[in-house]
A and B are shown apart, each in its own frame.
Chain A
Amino acid sequence: MVDITVKVNGATRTGSVEARKTLSDFLRDDLDLTGTHVGCEHGVCGSCTVIVDGRAVRSCLMLAVQAAGSEVTTVEGLAPDGALGALQQAMWDSHSFQCGFCTPGFVMQATAFLSAHPDAGEQEIREALSGNICRCTGYQSIIDGVLLAAHRSREIPCGREADRGGRR
């Protein structure tokens, strides 16, 4: 077992883990942060995406021991309990989810992407989210939600008001 200290959502957390434990299992099982969802467990679906030191990573493809000394943000860290962050609100307003399983992964990937590319347009957003799989929505509503968040952050009218002018 290896003792590790990780900053998770702003709080210093410690644990004692086997080297083979993935970061996703450490977050869920040891820290009880079950907002990070584990889908395929081999890096294909993107559901377990979290932000490590400012970059989106797949937490099932990273060992917990490798996160020692890093700053990790999970979906729980985006807004206080019961509140929604700006991106989450935009995705809520756009019905960007159905069953919700893949949603934390999309939210974290989009959070990392928008913070690095606040001026992103639809095509860039599609590209950035292309590694995340959703089996319900057909993706359009997810793209709409992220685009709405990007527009709101730049105070560009969008969503229903803009849609009346003619949808794609």
Chain B
Amino acid sequence: MPGSSQTLADRLAMMGTVARSPAARTDGWDGPAFEVRRNRRDAGEFFGREQPHPSDASALFLDTETTGLAGGTGTTPFLVGLAFVAGGEVVTEQYFLRRLSGEAAMLGALRERLTAVETLVTFNGRRFDWPILEARGIINRTPLEAPPEHHDLIGAARRLWHRPLGTYRLSAIERHALGIDRVDDVDAAQIPGLYLDYLRTGDAESLEPVFEHNRQDVLCLLHLRRKVRRWVEDGVDPPQPVDWEGLGVLRLQTAAATLDGDTASRALIGDAEAVLRRALEAEDDPAARWRIASRLAPLLRRTERWQELLALWEHAGVRGSWRVRTLIEVAKVQQWRLKQPARAAAALEEAMTVAEWLAATGNPIAPALEDQVRARLVRLLQAAAPRGRLRRGR
């Protein structure tokens, strides 16, 4: 523009305070733009008394450190931590971007490492690590192909620890469930900033805690997966408390996934039932008791254990509207399975009494629920009445 005495830079400077930062270094970098740090440990030593799970041999454990946690295309994985079991050793490989320009080469190496892998094992990798790697693959014209299976441990972690620990972050699980206590661990929120400082100064020293953090994370996945598989798939109960309901659900899911109904999966369903009962016993909250009983009921129905089913519902409901709901279930078992219409009617009458009492104390149950009780009771009484009378009634 004519007469403009200010440069664009001047005007930009007016937009905000410029943060003080170390001077950028763009020269003097030697060596490749990406490097691999490899570490080996004897598997026996690593796993202690227990042996690695046989399927670990075809699994690749992965955890990335990134320039941001927001996701989207502009988040760069600057450190990809991998672990695998090979030749009696636990190997960790850390692909590190010494410079951002090494990304395509790094992704190329990762692509190669992924070729023989059957299962990718991550913690929240479905939502975070893998989509970022996939996006960066496209941007760097080095597209990655996902291994046939992706075992994201976060699902199991949530089921097993969210309720007892109030969180299912990897670090909390590691401490409480795996008994590993890290010293001097870097705060995950600071990692992007540390890497940016490194990019500007070339001083990799301050990144050492990040490398260690990442190595610990990915090794933790090996332990976690082995434990989760023992507890879920092998039906061994964990020594320390977990969410027993969650464990039961995980076991049922695994049994359903095998589909063949073989002895092993039948045994696993039995193991699931055991921990679900354990969960029900320990539970006070009526809504949770209802939920757990609803998970147990199909197992008893499938094996036609009607008396046990009756007992389950009789004891599941403790108070309030949940008591009404469980009494309806009691009535169903009595009427259809045990052929005891009178006892079914008695259960429904009790449900009506509970409903009336709740209404009188200012906590009426949902009208739809009350209607359901009434309708069932009416049908039951009509079925019990002599036919002739009913006809005349019309």
User: Are the chains A and B members of one assembly?
Assistant: no
Give the B-binding residues of A (Cβ under 8 A): none
Give the A-binding residues of B (Cβ under 8 A): none
